[in-house]
Structure 1
Amino acid sequence: MTHTTNDLPARRASGIVVPVLAFAGIVVAVMQTLLVPVIKDLPQLLDTAPSNATWVLTSTLLSGAVATPIMGRLGDLYGKRKMLILSLAVMVAGALISALTSQLLTMIVGRTLQGFAMGAIPLGIGLMRDMLPREKLGSAMALMSSSIGVGGGLALPLAALVAQHADWHALFYGAAGLGALSIVLTLLVVPESPMRAKGSFDVLGALGLSAGLVLFLLPITKGSDWGWTSGGTLGMFAASAVVLVLWGLFELRSQAPLVDLRTTARPAVLFTNLASIMVGVSFYVVSLVLPQLLQLPKATGYGLGQSMVTAGLLVAPLGLTMMVTAPVYARLSAKYGPKVTLILGMLIIAIGYGAGLGLMSAAWQSLVIAVVLGAGIGLAYSSLPALIVGAVPASETGAANGLNTLMRSIGTSVSSAVIGMVLANTANNVGGVAIPTMHGFRVSFLIATGAVAIGLVMALFLPKANRAPQLRASSEEEAGIDNAEAVLRGFRGRVLDAGGAPVARAKVTLIDRRGRQAGATVSEDDGSYELAVPAQGAYVLAARAFGHGPLASAATHSGEELAVDLDLSLPGETVNA
């Protein structure tokens, strides 16, 4: 009887929660790619220069890069579900601001607020990690990670349809509606995680990261106007370097850093993050180039003369193929490990961009490029969280995944700024209107190909691949601990109800003294559980199950295995070993 009441609700919750969290990721992607169908018209719509109009896209990516660690840290401190709803609410507010203006600066403010929705990705992954059983975690993380591409692919034709048949401001009303729907679904379906970190929010870290990234990206977009060797351009690059170095030193000394840079010391994390930047760069290039090439009139000699909607439909397979590759990734990663799937994904991306240099003369060729690139990007994106989770102890997976998402966001921000600058500087001026050239498109594809080549080298330097984390069998491996390292035997026991009967499928979590998850497992049918500990010291054992009140017990480990039964009818007690 106990087994029935706990097992079925746990499965039902898992089945509902994952699609709702993935939908939040898709909403983020819609917001990111919302203006791609009208990108070539933005300078005229906002009555500004092409290099200024680029900031309508770059500002969203930049604020997303900053919001990722900020919302992740706030989620650890105050609740991931709460911060997920807040990030979506800020996005809705930004969308409504953009819907009501045609002024450049107000539009940038609105788009900057929309970028805060990017925090939904690491928050969603964090909620999955806290709630889902081990066997479902890997595929769920891959789905959440690839939802950006899926949503982007679906958004392109829909946004094009709206922009072609209605005022372009309607795009923002649509985004606000999707954001509101995601908030409602999250409130109804997603439970709050009981995990909380100790410490305070790193305000100086947030300001330093924001200032450093703005100082880096602003001269990239405006360097051609100001002059690449001008004092302003070089001064901003130098200031960016100084600010980011000081920020890094501050974060390393902080007791509760916004971004835990210590995790980057591991080769697996370092090279995964470097590869992530390059994947981020390559992902955004195709979204910027293909829609413009398809929509340019044939009179230019190279434009393909397609309508907004047709162009959107031809690029949509980029995201749809990413969705299809998620289950393919799970099988490949189970057999060969996430390193191999990352390398394979990068190779496919390189083939897609390389072929794209010679496949720009017909609309069907764009479809082929979108499918090939979607497959490669889907494999690469799905591999990244698994590589991170497999490379660090469970107590550091939140910080490590937040940093990895930040690296990807920086990649897309740099991509937007650089490609926007390339297309603006290679454009032909026809009747006061800047028309992108084939030379600009080819240079953009070459940049993407170069980024993928660098990323591929980084991936090859990754340590020997491990199997995907969801397929690991032991609690030591689930905690993210390398079997080659010495592992202390930890806590074991049974989870019991008020009558002393075993509680099956209770989630048992080990929390270290810094408030971070150091391990997690699910109790067996007889209520038994086992958890390894990464080191001696003080921990909290938290247990929760459907239909029972949660329990948190302080426990000190001195090196020998300790039996601790967790009684869900009692308040937490202190135990020592």
Structure 2
Amino acid sequence: MVDTVLASPTFVLPELSDAFDTNQFAWIDSSAMLAGATWAPLLGKSADIHGKRKVLVITLIVAGLGGVVCLLAPHISVFVLGRALQGAAVAALFLTVAIIRDICAPKFAMVVTGIVTSGSAVFGIVSPFILEIATEAFGWQFVFVVSAVFAGVAALCVRLVIPNSRNRTPGKVDVAGALTLGGGLAGVLVYISLGQEFGWLGIAPLAILIGGLAALTVWYLVLSRVPEPVINIRGISLALGLGLLVVVMGTGAYRSMLQLFSLLIDVSPDEGLGYGINGPGALGLMFGIPSIGIMLGGIVAGAIATRVGPARPLAVGVALGTIASFVMFSAGADNLPIAVICSFMLSMTAGSLVTSGFNLASVLAPPERQGTVSSMVMVMVAVGSVTMSFIGSAILAGNEIVVDGETVNSSTGVHTYIAVAGCTFILAAIPMAFLVRKLRGHADVPAEPHPGAGA
């Protein structure tokens, strides 16, 4: 279900842009992830207090309703509202990870986390081929029909099968703090989106940015100091902070590349623009085969983490992403076979980064705070994804050219886009090196619980 919210819409970005007469493809693609960043702190804290299963069912229902709104949307504003509701699916991912920590032994939980966070890519293996045929027959709406149905089925299965959590934190949810934090994050990220269209110094974008920064400042100086803050930012250890920094940059770089692939597929190399990988089966090859990489990256990262801890698999993911980005920059922007290989490597990066990020957080957090800490990982994934996608969109928009009377992306813009993603991976390697050094010689693999201690 999460894949149908975050990945599947990227398959139909050109159709969505045409349907709503907009070139803001980054906003169409990332609005759900943006909303997820604002949902996550509130839902993570709520799950620790009121129970993970209950909150998970609610998020699935909300995500399903969002799919229905997108399906019936007559205008881009209504569509974005639906995507905001679908953003609850982001919470579904980290809540699932937190539930795994409740019902599995620690080392086994690392492997299961890899299976759950990346195993959904099984759907991604066949979905591009199916969606390519289905969207031609039924239109882009088919994507959101599938998403709504999956959300309903998932909510029913969770309610019937998943046990109630026994690890809960007494207290209350700081709703004001959650809304202020979420609103601040949204304000900053919306500015990044609107700035490229209305001007970085435009009145409306600047007002939104100032409002977002003001909300974040109020939250940090006032609301984060309350007895039970929605996120205890001052309680974040150095190791966890470094891990979150790696996740925000690494996943952001990967998500931006995924967005670029959907645009490259829409252009034929025969057009002579210096980029473009359109060809027979290109959609299936670029998004189907690499789904295997997501599964391998996540599951292998989880298995390795049981022996050496999650930091080293996280480092391997960053290294793979760096290599793939610069191979893509050198020879893959107009070469389908090389692009498929690079996409496969980047997909392994994605699986490794997300799984290792969650595993690292679980190692460094007590059982009663798994929901809150997992939500922090998801916030980093969302912020990185949204920020890098909008930065990439701005790079392309700033380097457009006119060919035969039609405005298109230039080769300079595409290659600059790829280079920025590669440099972001390199930057992620800096805190990664400190993290590996910090955990060297320390027990970053969780010990098995004593008999009778409870799963």
Give the counterpart of 1:166 among 138, 144, 147.
138
Alpha carbons 1:263, 1:396 under 8 Å: kept: no
Look up the match of 1:384: 357
* Residues 35 and 326 (structure 1), Cα distance of their counterparts in 2 relative to 1, 3 Å cut: closer
* Residues 393 and 199 (structure 1), Cα distance of their counterparts in 2 relative to 1, 3 Å cut: closer
1:437-516 equivalent positions in 2, closer than 5 A = 437-462=410-435, 463-465=438-440, 466=442, 469-470=445-446, 472-473=447-448, 475=449
2:433, 2:443 → 1: CA distance? 16
Look up the match of 2:261: 290
Displacement of 1:237 in angstroms is: 3.0
3-state SS of the aligned residue for 1:295?
Answer: coil
When the two chains are superposed, the root-mean-square deviation of aligned CA atoms in Å is 2.4
Structure 2, unaligned runs of 5 or more = none
1:312, 1:431 → 2: CA distance? 30
1:110-259 equivalent positions in 2, closer than 5 A = 110-147=82-119, 155-259=127-231
Look up the match of 1:373: 346
Look up the match of 2:41: 69
Q: 1:352 is aligned with what amino acid?
A: A
* Residues 69 and 194 (structure 1), Cα distance of their counterparts in 2 relative to 1, 3 Å cut: same
1:97, 1:375 → 2: CA distance? 33
Displacement of 1:154 in angstroms is: 5.4
Q: 1:286 is aligned with what amino acid?
A: M
Q: 2:196 is aligned with what amino acid?
A: S
Displacement of 1:160 in angstroms is: 2.9
Alpha carbons 1:45, 1:102 under 8 Å: kept: no
1:99, 1:452 → 2: CA distance? 36
Larger Rg: 1
3-state SS of the aligned residue for 1:193?
Answer: coil
1:46 equivalent in alignment to 2:17 = no
Give the counterpart of 2:245 among 274, 281, 296.
274
3-state SS of the aligned residue for 2:301?
Answer: helix
* Residues 126 and 174 (structure 1), Cα distance of their counterparts in 2 relative to 1, 3 Å cut: same
Higher normalized contact order (CA 8 Å, seq sep 6+, divided by chain length): 2
Structure 1, unaligned runs of 5 or more = 1-26, 476-520, 524-528, 530-542, 545-577
More strand by share: 1
Look up the match of 1:424: 397
Alpha carbons 1:95, 1:173 under 8 Å: kept: yes
2:171, 2:307 → 1: CA distance? 40
Look up the match of 1:109: 81
Alpha carbons 1:69, 1:402 under 8 Å: kept: yes
Q: 1:290 is aligned with what amino acid?
A: F
TM-score (norm 1): 0.72
1:300-379 equivalent positions in 2, closer than 5 A = 300-301=271-272, 302-306=275-279, 310-358=282-330, 359-379=332-352
Displacement of 1:434 in angstroms is: 4.5
3-state SS of the aligned residue for 2:265?
Answer: helix
3-state SS of the aligned residue for 2:230?
Answer: coil
Alpha carbons 2:224, 2:230 under 8 Å: kept: no
Alpha carbons 2:177, 2:224 under 8 Å: kept: no
1:312-361 alpha-carbon deviations (Å, 9 max, x no partner) = 33232332212123342244334433222211210111000011102222
Displacement of 1:364 in angstroms is: 1.0
More helix by share: 2
* Residues 434 and 206 (structure 1), Cα distance of their counterparts in 2 relative to 1, 3 Å cut: farther
3-state SS of the aligned residue for 1:435?
Answer: strand
1:49-106 alpha-carbon deviations (Å, 9 max, x no partner) = x13x432222211111111222222222222111111111111111111111241111
1:255-281 alpha-carbon deviations (Å, 9 max, x no partner) = 2222221332x1101111111110221
* Residues 364 and 57 (structure 1), Cα distance of their counterparts in 2 relative to 1, 3 Å cut: same
3-state SS of the aligned residue for 2:171?
Answer: coil
* Residues 393 and 423 (structure 1), Cα distance of their counterparts in 2 relative to 1, 3 Å cut: same
Look up the match of 2:8: 34
2:97, 2:373 → 1: CA distance? 12
Give the counterpart of 1:412 among 385, 403, 415.
385
1:287, 1:91 → 2: CA distance? 22
Percent identity between matched residues is: 22
1:168, 1:370 → 2: CA distance? 23
1:373, 1:54 → 2: CA distance? 19
Q: 1:35 is aligned with what amino acid?
A: P
1:536-547 equivalent positions in 2, closer than 5 A = none
* Residues 104 and 119 (structure 1), Cα distance of their counterparts in 2 relative to 1, 3 Å cut: same
* Residues 184 and 101 (structure 1), Cα distance of their counterparts in 2 relative to 1, 3 Å cut: same
Displacement of 1:150 in angstroms is: 5.9
Alpha carbons 1:138, 1:469 under 8 Å: kept: no
Displacement of 1:394 in angstroms is: 4.0
2:209, 2:396 → 1: CA distance? 21
2:216, 2:126 → 1: CA distance? 36
2:451, 2:391 → 1: CA distance? 47
1:266-323 alpha-carbon deviations (Å, 9 max, x no partner) = 110111111111022112112111122122134431323336x532332323322121
Displacement of 1:183 in angstroms is: 1.7
Alpha carbons 2:90, 2:378 under 8 Å: kept: no
Displacement of 1:243 in angstroms is: 1.7
Matched residues, number? 449
1:334, 1:135 → 2: CA distance? 5
* Residues 429 and 40 (structure 1), Cα distance of their counterparts in 2 relative to 1, 3 Å cut: farther
Displacement of 1:127 in angstroms is: 1.2
Displacement of 1:194 in angstroms is: 2.9
Alpha carbons 1:334, 1:468 under 8 Å: kept: no
1:467, 1:316 → 2: CA distance? 38
Look up the match of 1:82: 54
Q: 1:293 is aligned with what amino acid?
A: L
Displacement of 1:432 in angstroms is: 7.7
* Residues 34 and 343 (structure 1), Cα distance of their counterparts in 2 relative to 1, 3 Å cut: same
Alpha carbons 1:62, 1:214 under 8 Å: kept: yes
Alpha carbons 2:400, 2:408 under 8 Å: kept: yes
1:272, 1:207 → 2: CA distance? 25
2:278, 2:114 → 1: CA distance? 36
* Residues 319 and 459 (structure 1), Cα distance of their counterparts in 2 relative to 1, 3 Å cut: same
